[in-house]
Amino acid sequence: MSNLVGADRESDQAALRAIIEVHRAMPGAMLPLLHAIQGQMGWVPAEVVPLISDALNVSRAEVQGVLDFYHDFRRAPAGRHVLQICRAESCQAMGSYRLEAQARDILGINFHQTTPDGALTLEPVYCLGNCACSPAIRIDDAIYGRMDPATLDALIGDLRDAQAPA
């Protein structure tokens, strides 16, 4: 697990092994285990795939298949801020595709990527429960409804300004 991010890799390894041990005997352990790892680390490092495979007695391909199927699992650490754009039907009907294109253009990244400076990660989300105020986005833990291109531009600018050196 030499690629783990963090000041104390041995501590990260010990935490991952403890999470695996707690979850390995659960019925249907794969998803709760992966969620617990992401909850602890903020992402699911590729280095844990063989450990999970061994612990659950499944192939590495099965573990990787679950990671590939569920888009909520991150394969790399997220940026300092996470921008999620809702892709549910209501938000699509109210213009979320325009917001997606705008965010990709402004940030220079695609979904599931982080800006080179580590400031922002762009992710799709498939319902924020804010359909009456479509289109909606979430930045970190804050949900914004009735989003328009100008407001999105301003929010992204504010996040970038907050990261700029004084």
C-alpha 74/C-alpha 123 separation (Å) is 10
Total domains present in the chain: 2
For residues 60 and 34, membership in a common domain is answered with: yes
Q: Is residue 3 part of a domain?
A: no
The pLDDT of residue 5 is above 60:
no
For residue range 37-62, list pLDDT tens digits in order.
999 999 999 999 999 999 999 999 99
Same domain, yes or no, for 155 and 117? Answer: yes
- What are the angstrom distances between the C-alpha of 56 and each of 30, 53, 61, 68? 8, 5, 12, 18
105-111 long-range contacts, CB within 8 A, separation 24+: 106/153, 106/156, 107/83, 107/156
- Confidence label for 164 from pLDDT (cuts 50, 70 and 90): low
pLDDT of amino acid 4: 58
Q: Are 125 and 87 in contact (CB under 8 A)?
A: yes
Let me know if residue 74 belongs to a domain. no
Query: How far apart are the C-alpha atoms of 60 and 166, rounded to whole Å?
Result: 46
Q: Assign 160 a pLDDT band (cuts: 50, 70, 90).
A: confident
Choose the final residue of a domain: 69, 91, 118.
Answer: 69
pLDDT at 1: 43
Whether residue 63 sits in one domain with residue 35:
yes
Q: Which domain holds residue 158?
A: 81-163
- Asked whether residue 38 is domain-assigned, the answer is yes
As a whole number of angstroms, the distance between CA 63 and CA 97 comes to 31
Average pLDDT, the chain: 92
Mean pLDDT of 91-101: 97
- Its pTM surpasses 0.75: yes
- Based on the fold, state whether residues 27 and 88 are members of the same structural domain: no
CA–CA gap between residue 107 and residue 118 (Å, rounded): 11
**3-state SS string for 98-118:** HHHHHHHHHHCCCCCEECCCC
Q: How far apart are CA 17 and CA 37, in angstroms?
A: 10
Question: How buried is residue 19: exposed, middle or buried, by Cβ count under 10 Å (0-12/13-18/19+)?
Answer: buried
Asked if residue 108 is part of any domain, the answer here is yes
For residue 129, give the CATH number of its domain: 3.40.30.10
